[in-house]
């Protein structure tokens, strides 16, 4: 939680993340990076009635890195399919970027 003070000086808590009840997560494969192997998932969330956004989640043991929303499709299935088509070279670039 982030705590901030309003103009009156009282503290108000503001959540850091917004969690969607309609969020769907699907495994899309693995990515080798040197001797490490990352489990890949796509996290799909609704944007509007017929529009879905997807982000890639890289996971290995306790480590986890997520991209921002990088895929936009009309269906959840479409986001998952497009995520599965991303080439390893692009996924490696996304991992480097997600690490900051």
Looking at residue 22, what is its pLDDT? 81
Half-sphere exposure of 56 (CA within 13 A, CB side): 28
Looking at residue 9, what is its pLDDT? 52
The answer to the question of residue 68 being in a domain is: yes
**What is the spatial distance between Cα 11 and Cα 97, in angstroms, rounded to a whole number?**
34
Give the DSSP per-residue string, 1-31: -EEEE-TTS-EEEE-S----TT-EEEEEEEE
pLDDT tens digits, one per residue of 7-19: 555 544 444 444 5
Count up the domains in the chain and report the number: 1
Looking at residue 15, what is its pLDDT? 43
The answer to the question of residue 33 being in a domain is: yes
The answer to the question of residue 15 being in a domain is: no
The answer to the question of residue 31 being in a domain is: yes
In the chain, the percentage of residues whose pLDDT exceeds 70 is 79
Q: What angle do CA 47, 15, 58 make, to 5 degrees?
A: 60
């Amino acid at each position: 939680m982030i705590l901030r003070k309003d103009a009156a000086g009282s503290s108000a808590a503001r959540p850091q993340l917004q969690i969607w009840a309609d969020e769907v997560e699907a495994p899309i494969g693995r990515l080798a990076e040197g001797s490490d192997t990352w489990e890949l998932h796509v996290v799909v969330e609704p944007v509007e009635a017929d529009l879905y956004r997807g982000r890639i989640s890289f996971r290995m043991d306790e480590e986890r890195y997520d991209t921002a929303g990088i895929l936009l499709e009309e269906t959840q299935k479409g986001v998952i399919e497009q995520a599965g088509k991303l080439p390893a070279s692009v996924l490696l670039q996304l991992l480097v970027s997600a690490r900051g």
